[in-house]
Amino acid sequence: MRTLTIQAPDDWHLHFRDGDMLFETVPATSRCFKRAIAMPNLVPPVTTTQMALEYKARIQAAVPKNIAFDSDFDALVTLFLTNSTTPAEIAKAKAAGIVASKLYPAGATTNSDDAVKGIKALYPVFEKMQEVGMLLLIHGEVTQSHIDIFDREKAFIDAYLNDIVNYFPNLKVVFEHITTKDAADFVKASSSNVAATITPQHLLLNRNDLLAGGIRPHNYCLPVLKRSTHQQALQQTVASGSPKFFLGTDSAPHEKHKKESACGCAGCYSAWSAIELYAQVFDDLNALDKLEGFASHYGPDFYGLARNAGTITLKQEQWQVPQVMTLATSDKALRGSNASADTIVPFYAGQTLQWKLVN
C-alpha cells in the first residue's frame, strides 16, 4: 500500500461562514490544514480591522482543543473591500497582522452586494496596500448582465486585471479560484508578484458535470464550471509544478435545502475531503511529486510567511465521501427537540476516493 507524507499544508481560500456553522467548518479544515485564509463576505461583511479581529477570535474559538494538530491551527482573516475602504484602514489592518484584503465586484458571488462598484475608485487603496505589503485577493469576474457567464473571467482580465498589475507592479495579487486557460496563461505571463489559487472542483469537473442530464445544484459554484478544455488547462498547470499556483479550496458550505431551492446557492463544501481530492487529481495526472509544492510550499512562499512545521500522511485506500452531513445547531433548541437538523451535501458526495488522510 502506497503512502504519501508531505509538509503540513494550508488552504489559501475558503469560507468558514459564521455562528454555529463554525463548529462544522473549522474542525473540517483544521484536521489537515495548519492555516487558512478566511473569506470576509459575511452578513454584514468584514470591512474593518476590528471586525476582522473579532471574526478571527470566533474562528479560533471553534478549533478543537483535544488534538495537537488542530490546536496549532491559525485562521488568517481578511478585509472586505468596499468603495468606503480608506488607505488609513489598510494601514491599521496591516499593523494588526491582517495579511490581505479581498476584492469582490459587487454581485459576483454570495453576500457580495456591498462590494466594489467602480474598481478604479479603489486605486488609492491599492497604492496603500502596495506600500505596506498587504496582498490583494481578487474574485476576477465582471458582473454585467450582458456578458455571458462563461466569459466573465476573461472579460475581467481584459477590463481590469491587466491595468491593476501594470499600475501597481509591487502589489502582490492573488487571482483566486481561476477557472480558465485564459486566467492560467495570464498568471504565467505576469510578474512574480501575481499568483493564483485553484480549487478541487475546477480540477475535477467541467460544465457537463453541472448541466448534462439535468442541473446538479451541488456542483454549482462561482466562478461557474467551464468547458473541459479549460479544466484540462488547469490540470496541466498544476502538474507543471509552477510556484505561481497553489491550493485554495473555495470550500463554501450551504444547507441542503438552500442548494436545492429554486434559486440555489453557489458553493461546493469540500473541506472534509479537500486534501484527499487534490491527492487524487495529482495521482491521476501522474504528478504526485508536485502535490507538496502546490499544497505546502508555494502559498506561504508567495505570502511571505514561514512554511509549516510538521507533516501529514495520506495512504492509498478507498473510502466514500458521505452522502450528507448533519449540522448540530443551537437553533434546534429554539425550534424544539423534535426539529430536524440542517444538513449539508458535501462536494463529491457518494464518490469513492483513492487517498485517505491518516495523520
Q: CA angle 215-253-206, nearest 5°?
A: 40
Residue 36 annotated in ligand binding: no
250 is catalytic: yes
Which residues in 53-99 belong to E strands, given as ranges? 74-80
Partner residues linked to 3 by β-bridges: 315
Q: How many whole angstroms separate alpha carbon 219 and alpha carbon 213?
A: 13
Residue 333 annotated in ligand binding: no
Residue 146 annotated in ligand binding: no
From 11, 182, 250, 342, the catalytic residue: 250
Q: Which three cell numbers stand for residue 3?
A: 503512502
Q: Please give the distance of CA 103 from its chain centroid, rounded to a whole number.
A: 13
Q: How many whole angstroms separate alpha carbon 66 and alpha carbon 70?
A: 8
Residue 17 annotated in ligand binding: yes
Spell 90-112 as b/e; 16+ CB within 10 A means b.
Answer: bbbbbeeebbbbbbbbeebbbbb
Half-sphere exposure at residue 33, Cβ-oriented, CA atoms within 13 angstroms = 33
Residue 139 annotated in ligand binding: yes
Residues making up the annotated binding site for substrate are: 15-17, 41, 139, 222, 254, 266
Active site residues: 250
Q: Which amino acids are annotated as binding site for Zn(2+), given as ranges? A: 13, 15, 102, 139, 177, 250
